Structure 1
Amino acid sequence: MPNVDEDTSTMTGPVHPTFGPPRTPARKPRVDAVLAESTDLAQSALMDFADEMEIGDHIGVTADDERLVTHRFASRVRGYRGWEFFATLARAPRSKVITVCETGMLPGDEAMLAPAWVPWMDRASEEERIRLDAIAAGEDPAKALEAAGYGAPETEEAPAEQQQQAPEDEQGEKSKQARRDAKRRRAKKKAASQKKNKKSGGNKVSKASKSKK
């Protein structure tokens, strides 16, 4: 029996179980000839979710395991440049019946992918972090930002020429408005006078007709 008190901390190399030597890695699987020739079956399986015009040329076939292969086809789908359709086929030993295991799309080497995700702490500015930390702590975010040197931006003072021009423009607008108001009052007064004259003329005509009778 082995000595259980033996110190194994200084032992070099891997320690293997006592029931046998370590297993050697399995050999690389070979491409099954029957499955490799089933290109038409793989392409027809892809037509369950893609149009025939969207499936491009056959790119190749890869052995995933014994009697398990994956066919790859180029993608012609708009917005999926560089992507590939795939169909995984399998068969049992000494059987000619082929089973479609899986179909789908995967990005190729030249596929357009979304940019890598960046954590919020790396995306947020220092000012934003200070503001949210103050809110989480129940403090006034404005005071926290001011204490950190993020006060309200100073407004630039307008040049002296613009400051002098502003009152002049304002006075000009007021004078224009006054002229428009005076013009409206004159027009209103004239209309009232014409209405009064028309009414008085009508009364004279009616009195003259009565006197003739």
Structure 2
Amino acid sequence: MATVSTQPSRTEPTAVGAIDAARKALVEEVGRADVGAHLGHLVEGEPGGTVVTHLFACQRAGYVGWHWSVTLAQIPGEAPTVDEVVLIPGDEAIVAPAWVPYRDRIEPGDLSPGDLLPVSDEDPRLVPTYSFGDDPLDADAKAQVRQVAEDLGLGRVRTLSVEGLDLAAQRWYAGLAGPAAPIAQAAPHHCYSCGFLLRISGSLSAGFGVCANGDANDDGRVVSMDHGCGAHSEVRLAKKHEPLPLPEPVVDDLTTDLLEAF
């Protein structure tokens, strides 16, 4: 385990006290203007020798919180030699965010025509259809799909697992088609009583449907039963919202008398 010290001891190896040699090597590598005060050293023992890393403050613009690391290697009886000079971040350094794999950065709407997004064979959202059925809550459908897949090789290879169904339900319910959406909060009625709601089958049928109102924002999309919008089939305008009747014309230019005058 490496140890950190700011003051070399009289009994420590020569490499620990070789601060000037480490600074000289660093200045030759990066220039004097970028090198600050000595911050301490790390001692790491190796069989038959010693490796010591000296740390110096970094004065380079844009690298606040970084420091220079100069590693010296020493064989007993020999003068220490420079192993490497690197710039490393400290606890307060500004560094790039942690790498996130491309597959985990994909969000809905990122795919363009021609893009492919393969699903892993170990994806927990999917299970083999022959072992789970097309609907985990429908025993008859499960048996039927299993039989078809086994005898004829037809049907889907995989279907949603319980985890996949739960994730979909949570995502839809918390999204713009759920009850917390601003348009739903201001709606006079909920989707479950709307004539434009198409029922879906399966275990999610009690909580979700598909909007079939071409005038609604959610047309063709899955909506929760307690979602809503102003395009509900039973919406009626209050009298104060109805258009005002047109006043009587001052001159009725649609009468036959006026036409004959011309």
TM-score, normalised with respect to structure 2: 0.37
TM-score (norm 1): 0.45
| Structure number with larger C-alpha Rg | 1
Structure with the higher strand share, 1 or 2: 2
